Structure 1
Amino acid sequence: MQTGKKQWSLDTTNQTLKEFAKLVNGDKAARKVRKNEPLKVGVDLGTSSIVLTVLDQHDQPLYGAFEYAKVVRDGIVVDYIGSIQILKRLKAQAENVLGQTLTSACGAIPPGTGENSANVVANVIEATEMEAKEIVDEPTAAAKFLRLTTGTVVDIGGGTTGISVFKQKRLVKVVDEPTGGSHMTLVLAGYHHIPADDAELMKRDPKKDSANFPIIRPVVEKMATITKNVMATQLAEPVIVVGGATNFKDFVKAFSHTLGRSALKPAFPQFVTPLGIAMYDK
């Protein structure tokens, strides 16, 4: 990471994200894995998907797998058995490609969701025959992957907006609010008078980005207002937005306008937190 007078940038992390995106759900690993090579694994149980990431001991991505799911609501696992079944499939897929058994993993929860939530995530991981090494909060995991020592990470998930403020590697503020991608879906469903499942598919369709965004823009503005209120007491820049709900073309422009300062978005923002989670697997 660059420090001092040199400006922090997303260049290195964007390159890693682009390389990782090519590996996700593919039939090849980034390189041949040595027999019994130590691997670092991250499990992100999200509201709309479950992501499994595999890194080497130098935090370089080796493989990733994900599956859309509805097993989590507002950061809380609501379908324990379904979570285990999906994670078992993703683990088997990764092991088949890597040629090696995954033995441990780290997980994450939205900030402030409590010890019970962390225990459930750990239990899901261990039910797939991996040791749960650590459960961290999602924006902090994102900051670790971004190698951000001072700044604000806004992790916009399916059910919540998590905000972590860092100053000189020290976490000084953590906030989590129940506004996320699922709220965008509900707004679309209400506007078009369609079921939420249909609205979710509509939201994910990049061809409908321009038509969808004006409808869900008030949700984005609310996310930015939440962040603005946090930064009023703990200001730290740069502001980085991550999470799959940020994938709209005009998201950053609208978010920055309400925030009153420029925000940055990495390439493939949905993979930032999962990669950061894996970095905690020692």
Structure 2
Amino acid sequence: MLFLKNPQEAHLQCLTFKKEGKSIGFVPTMGALHEGHLSLVRRAKEENDVVVCSIFVNPTQFNDPTDLAKYPRTLEADRRLLESVGCDLLFAPQEQEMYPAPPVLRFSFGHLEQVMEGAHRPGHFNGVALVVSKLFHIVQPNKAYFGQKDYQQYLIIRQLVADLSFPVEVVPCPIVREADGLAMSSRNRRLTPAQRREAVILHQTLQEAKQRLLNGVSVEEVKKWVASVFAPLQKKDIRLEYFEVADGYTLSAVKDIHRHKEVVLCIAAYVGEVRLIDNVLLFS
């Protein structure tokens, strides 16, 4: 596996792959890799000649400096994992190489960034769009792979690619879960053992909410039920930030599930000081 830190060197190597007639599958990450990331690499390996993975903890998408400081960084362990699943090139730049000067460009994604994560993390998706645009220019991938745990991010990137005409196919990949249902996340390793056991409440709540909706319970009543589940958990320092039932394509609020082709149930909650997100598709 090639390991490059310099953006220009990585770009030239990717151009070499292209000149050799090889297709490039790209998996952008912030490191602290787990089986969810590795599943993306395996999928990219199946569908492309070459797989490129990036590791970069992108400062512009963090609206909380403490969260940025505490984000796990495990580059050497990540390198070994990527090598074990057949990654061909790891690109791991330094911050000053990606942002030699403070960026001034601002993206607007309309309603897509005004709800859920966008509402609770101002500027987050502008930072995501900035770094993904830079990475697409450097790597020049044919396909880019994103996990659906960050469902709103996937829709944002799909919009970015459409509006800027990036010649990239954005490939959404299913959420990979622990045995008890907790969505795999780099943030999970910050949970204490007790918090880790409690964190499964996110997945359990989504599954029960999905079943209630399919059984004919109204969206309004399901939202009230979710709030009632989390209310007593505050004594365990588990706090619901939001639970939304949204259109799976536009993220507009859903009142009647039968008027939409796809509906996504999204949740965000704090377990201690660790913020976790999860989602489930209603009709899939």
Task: Give the alignment's TM-score, normalised by structure 2.
Answer: 0.30
Task: Give the alignment's TM-score, normalised by structure 1.
Answer: 0.30
| Greater percentage in helix | 2
Rg comparison, structure with higher value:
2
Q: Larger relative contact order (C-alpha < 8 A, sep ≥ 6)?
A: 1
